[in-house]
Amino acid sequence: MTFVQKTHLHYQLLALTGEVDLHNSPQVRKQLLAIVESGNSVIVDFSSLSYIDSSGIATLVETYNLAKNKQLSLTIVGARGAPLQVLELTNLNKVFPMKDSLDEIKA
């Protein structure tokens, strides 16, 4: 699993590649929480993500709750395949704002 962080409009975008599991989700957690703690809304780009387990999902939930408390947002972009199935199975696709592509996110 690798990730790249960059600025997109007024958001911080974290693009995840590969598989997120218990082995590497602490890295993702640290990065996501740091983004929100520093006062930024976050977009998590799932376009190149092929797998995410419950520890990764728990990280998203924790970040979402923190962002909400700070009047910020967490948006997921480009989820498909196995990661989308996990979000649907947990009904979290109805909790997190979901977009098909970055083009759908406006300033």
- Maximum Cα–Cα distance for the chain, whole Å? 35
Integer Cα distance of 23 and 81 in angstroms: 21
Among 4, 9, 22, 34, binds other proteins (CB under 8 A): 22
| 61 contacts other proteins (rule: CB under 8 A) | yes
Beta strands 98-99 and 74-77 are parallel
CA 82, CA 84: separation in Å to the nearest integer?
5
Selected binder of other proteins within 21, 33, 66, 93 (CB under 8 A): 21
Asked if residue 18 lies in contact with residue 2, where contact means CB atoms within 8 angstroms, the answer is yes
Q: What is the DSSP letter of 100?
A: S
Based on CB atoms, which residue is closest to other proteins, 92 or 98?
Answer: 92
Residue from the set 58, 80, 101, 104 that interacts with other proteins by CB under 8 A: 58
Which residues in 67-96 contact other proteins (CB under 8 A)? 81-82, 85-86, 89-92, 95
Instruction: Report the residue number, 92 or 102, with the smaller CB distance to other proteins.
Output: 92
Give contact residues for other proteins (rule: CB under 8 A).
Answer: 19, 21-23, 51, 53-55, 57-58, 61-62, 64-65, 81-82, 85-86, 89-92, 95
